[in-house]
Amino acid sequence: MLVTKTEPGDPTVAGHLKPCEAILNSVEKSLQSFKYNGYAPSTGHLEAREAVARYSTRPEATIEAKDVVLTSGCSHALELAISVLANPGQTILVPRPGFPLYKTLAESLGINIKYYSLLPEKSWEVDLADLEHQISEDTAAIVVNNPSNPCGSVYSRRHLQSILEVAARNYVPIIADEIYEQFVFSEEEFYPIASLSLSVPILTCSGLTKRFLVPGWRMGWILIHDRNEVFGSSVRNGLQSLCQRIMGTNTIIQGALPNILKDTPQNFFNDIIMSVKVNASIAFSVLSEIPGLTPVMPSGAMYMMVGIDINTFSGLRNDTDFVEKLVCEQSVMCLPGACFDYPNYVRLVLTVPESDLREACNRIAEFCKKYSKFSFSLNPNYKPLHSRSNILAPIEEDLPCCENNNNGVMESPQPIRV
């Protein structure tokens, strides 16, 4: 039986979302030019950096090629930004729930982290009082992720301005993780945080990964938004030195970058966003009817967080136990909130085909009905698409967390690796 996967943050996994012809043609043209087979400057070819500057510039926050550093994906951009702003022993502030790589990168560099809280009852806005409370003399930067992984939140202009006011008041720079820039539902608007401040210095991290459906191409960038020469030459020179550790990023994609950013049609992006929005509506509608689950409707990115009231269920200890039993019994794979330092939630990825998403929600409903302390009826419009015997017979090699004994009975699952 095919396992329904709603856990990986890779929009290409299911195979139905593909880069458009304009993107592929740009790469083919770059490859066939034979101009990009050698090493590039450590911060990237000038033409590629100019293209990113044109793509990213706003009237309120202009960008030139000298302000662009090309990186091996947005994760590499985040590593460089953290490295250049924080010294070992200093602290960066990161959101909770938030992308776990922030902690991994910081700790690998000897940098401490403190969490500031997001508020699910306010569509995952930042708890501004808590953010300010976490700032101390050793705070080197605040990481702001908008749109959010794992929450799918999109911050309003006013809320971003409030975050900037906290940063300005405390003289703390911002690392803006905007890899999901423009990945917002039609009724929302994305505001680059750097376009809203003339005083707070910001390093913006982004790239092709999510919006262009090419995470494996590893093309990201840092935008240097200096304010009042706070960064000065030290940050620019530091980033250039750090880039030399890997001899630059993918040159073939650098050669394609100007055409990718210029020629990709808007309807390509619109279709992806509409697909995710439809899936979000389906998941919210189905899961909202299940006692013990509280989905938070996203506004963008490609994720939904779903709260779990463990007291509603019998035989489920926590969110990790919920996920492990769900994958072994119903072959639905999602991530527990513990992965994002936010227990009693699970994260769904909304870039699976609509039919798979419906099937996943159906199976989650069956699973919750089995363990619920209270009886409830499943919506008759949402019937399982596969027979129960198939659902309860996951293929062992597809489900490494499950082990079969000699009698074919499922043993206790091992922890799911993220």
pLDDT, tens digit (0-9, with 9 covering 90-100), for 94-121: 999 999 999 999 999 999 999 999 999 9
Whether the predicted pLDDT of 225 surpasses 90: yes
How far does CA 304 lie from the centroid of its chain? 11
* Region 323-334 average pLDDT: 95
Which band of pLDDT confidence, cut at 50, 70 and 90, is reported for residue 14? confident
Determine if residue 15 is left, alpha or beta; phi over 0 gives left, psi from -120 to 50 gives alpha, anything else beta: left
Instruction: Name the packing angle between helices 354-371 and 266-288 (round to 10°).
Output: 20
In this prediction, residue 382 has a pLDDT band, given cuts at 50, 70 and 90, of low
Q: What is the pLDDT of residue 186?
A: 85
pLDDT in tens, 232-265: 999 999 999 999 999 889 999 999 999 999 999 9
Give yes or no for a contact between 174 and 226, defined as CB atoms under 8 angstroms apart.
no
| CA gap 327, 8 in Å, rounded | 14
pTM over 0.85: yes
